[in-house]
């Protein structure tokens, strides 16, 4: 079996002050702890804290050997200075509203966005670039942004290209509509988790057939699966979870406990059961969180866990497991 830890990546939206402020020192400690634990994959985006996550990640990696880590970032939102911006960023990041996001999937927008990202990261190239949430921008993203990324890949500025979204349907459209070898990878958030697998029927088999890597993110469904004791006010899809969803998560947690593991550990491992999934991303805002996630990743849940989840109707009969 391949070293599973090499398939675990750090998502950096919490380091962009998602919902809660994180100090520069605490953010650096997260990246340092991830590195010390063997994590070498780091995912970021201009959207995360209006560039703050990219700056912090770049600073933390600056003295690391470049050949030893993989960085992915995203394009589609240009950060434009906003002299009239007041208070905190209205999109959920605890940072001053000094800039505003402008959707731009034009070829020029892609190049400008990537140039700014490279500057914030302090790098001359990135390993992966995703089109970020092109849900309402299919024509421009497919017709202008994707060809621009292909050109940048040919120039060696970008290693691999793809799209990252919270839905599977448009990702499948990108893969299906692309010429052979155009899309290297897709980043799928929240739609292939221990809780729910809507991407299983179409997107994942399509990616497996086309040789497109799937990186699974949002493994905790935005918080619901992040702790063994699921609270009443747990979040699901970035809002308070419905009671029936909380109940389902608690039933899964109870099965995990009977097999000597935890809900977050099972959630981390679950997506890797599918052959199309080549890696998983998990966010962390503290050193303790990333260490706990890596520790959970070192011990796969027992096979009996998956069998009982199926018996309890909490996992479909045809869903692949690790």
pLDDT digit string, tens, across residues 246-271: 999 999 999 999 999 999 999 999 99
How far apart CA 188 and CA 191 sit, in angstroms, is 7
At 163, give phi and psi (nearest 5°): -140, 150
According to the model, what pLDDT value does residue 48 have? 98
Closest to 191 (Cα-Cα) out of 213, 169, 173: 169
According to the model, what pLDDT value does residue 86 have? 85
| Residue 149 three-state SS | helix
Query: 18: which 2 tokens?
Result: 């998602």
According to the model, what pLDDT value does residue 2 have? 39
Per residue, what are the HEC states of 282-313? Answer: EECCCHHHHHHHHHHHCCCCCHHHHHHHHHCC
Instruction: Locate the domains of the chain by residue range.
Output: 4-226+262-296
pLDDT for 218 beyond 50:
yes
User: Would the pTM count as exceeding 0.85?
Assistant: yes
Instruction: Catalogue the active-site residues.
Output: 48
According to the model, what pLDDT value does residue 3 have? 60
The tokens 């400008």 sit on which residue?
Answer: 112
74, 45 contact by CB (below 8 A)? yes
Provide the CA 235 distance to its chain's centre, in angstroms: 17
According to the model, what pLDDT value does residue 296 have? 87
193, 160 contact by CB (below 8 A)? no
Average pLDDT of span 214-230: 96
Query: 281: which 2 tokens?
Result: 């991303």
Q: How far is CA 8 from CA 17, 229, 293, in A?
A: 22, 24, 9
Average pLDDT of span 32-42: 96
Closest to 185 (Cα-Cα) out of 319, 276, 66: 276
Q: pLDDT tens digits, residue range 87-111?
A: 999 999 999 999 999 999 999 999 9
Average pLDDT of span 109-117: 98
Residue 117 exposed, middle or buried by CB count within 10 Å (0-12, 13-18, 19+): buried
According to the model, what pLDDT value does residue 140 have? 97
**Structural domain 4-226+262-296, CATH architecture:** Alpha-Beta Barrel (3.20)
How far apart CA 174 and CA 182 sit, in angstroms, is 9
Q: pLDDT tens digits, residue range 2-29?
A: 366 689 999 999 999 999 999 999 999 9
Work out whether the CA dihedral 188, 190, 196, 198 comes out positive or negative.
Answer: negative
| Residue 283 three-state SS | strand
pLDDT for 1 beyond 60:
no
Query: Which residues are paired to 193 by β-bridges?
Result: none
Q: pLDDT tens digits, residue range 147-161?
A: 999 999 999 999 999
């Amino acid at each position: 079996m391949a070293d599973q830890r090499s398939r675990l990546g750090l998502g950096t939206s919490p380091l962009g002050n998602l919902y809660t402020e994180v100090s520069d020192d605490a953010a650096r400690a997260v990246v340092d702890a991830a590195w010390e634990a063997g994590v070498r994959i780091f995912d970021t985006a201009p959207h995360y804290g209006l560039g703050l996550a990219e700056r912090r990640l770049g600073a933390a990696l600056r003295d690391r050997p470049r050949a030893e880590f993989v960085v992915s970032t995203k394009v589609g939102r240009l950060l434009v200075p906003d002299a009239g911006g007041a208070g905190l960023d209205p999109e959920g990041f605890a940072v001053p509203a000094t800039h505003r996001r402008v959707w731009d999937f034009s070829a020029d927008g892609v190049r400008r966005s990537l140039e700014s990202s490279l500057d914030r990261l302090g790098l001359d190239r990135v390993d992966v670039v995703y089109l970020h949430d092109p849900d309402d921008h299919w024509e421009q993203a497919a017709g202008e942004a994707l060809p621009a990324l292909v050109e940048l890949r040919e120039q060696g500025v970008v290693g691999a290209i793809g799209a990252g979204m919270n839905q599977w349907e448009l990702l499948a459209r990108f893969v299906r509509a692309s010429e052979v070898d155009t899309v290297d990878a897709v980043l799928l958030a929240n739609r292939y988790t221990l809780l729910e697998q809507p991407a299983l029927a179409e997107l994942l088999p399509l990616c497996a057939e086309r040789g497109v890597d799937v990186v699974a993110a949002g493994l905790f469904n935005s918080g619901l699966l992040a702790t063994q004791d699921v609270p009443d006010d747990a979040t699901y899809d970035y809002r308070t979870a419905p009671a029936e969803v909380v109940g389902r998560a608690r039933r899964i947690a109870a099965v995990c406990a009977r097999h000597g593991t935890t809900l977050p550990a099972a959630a981390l491992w679950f997506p890797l059961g599918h052959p199309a999934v080549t890696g998983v991303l998990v966010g962390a805002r503290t050193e303790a969180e990333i260490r706990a996630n890596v520790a959970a990743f070192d011990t796969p849940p027992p096979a009996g866990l998956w069998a009982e989840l199926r018996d309890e109707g909490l996992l479909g009969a045809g869903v692949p497991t690790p």
